[in-house]
């Protein structure tokens, strides 16, 4: 699965937001997202397959961490859209200044 497809689901984005703050065990993600453990596990599998998270064993716990490199591709894809909206907002600002 691509990073784009993985990011399309809101719960997966929530998981990535939590992992942005640091490594977390699966149980904590279950508590914070208010999904069932199987549901969180399903989303973590998709995120792992897309290369967006990595997992490591720490005793009996499995810890998940964000792997930001695939997000660079998404960021590059979004860049032209940022420029588009920036130009549109600049035009709106000029219009508002000229027409108080």
Domain identity same for 63 and 76: no
CATH number of the domain where residue 33 is located: 1.10.10.10
Helix (H, G, I), strand (E, B) or coil at 86: helix
List alpha helices for the chain, DSSP H: 3-7, 10-20, 26-33, 37-49, 69-98
Domain identity same for 62 and 18: yes
The confidence band for 85, taking pLDDT boundaries of 50, 70 and 90, is: confident
Domain identity same for 26 and 59: yes
The token pair that represents 90 in the structure block = 């600049």
Domain extent for 60:
1-67
pLDDT tens, 1-39?
A: 788 888 889 999 999 999 999 999 999 999 999 899 999
84 contacts: CB under 8 Å, gap ≥ 6: none
């Amino acid at each position: 699965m691509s990073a784009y497809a993985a990011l399309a689901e809101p719960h997966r984005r929530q998981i990535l937001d939590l992992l942005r703050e640091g490594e977390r065990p699966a149980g904590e993600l279950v508590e914070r997202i208010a999904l069932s453990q199987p549901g969180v596990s399903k989303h973590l599998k998709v995120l792992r397959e897309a290369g967006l998270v990595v997992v490591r064993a720490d005793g009996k716990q499995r810890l998940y961490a964000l792997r930001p490199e695939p997000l660079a591709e998404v960021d590059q894809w979004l860049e032209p859209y940022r420029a588009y909206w920036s130009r549109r907002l600049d035009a709106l600002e000029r219009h508002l200044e000229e027409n108080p």
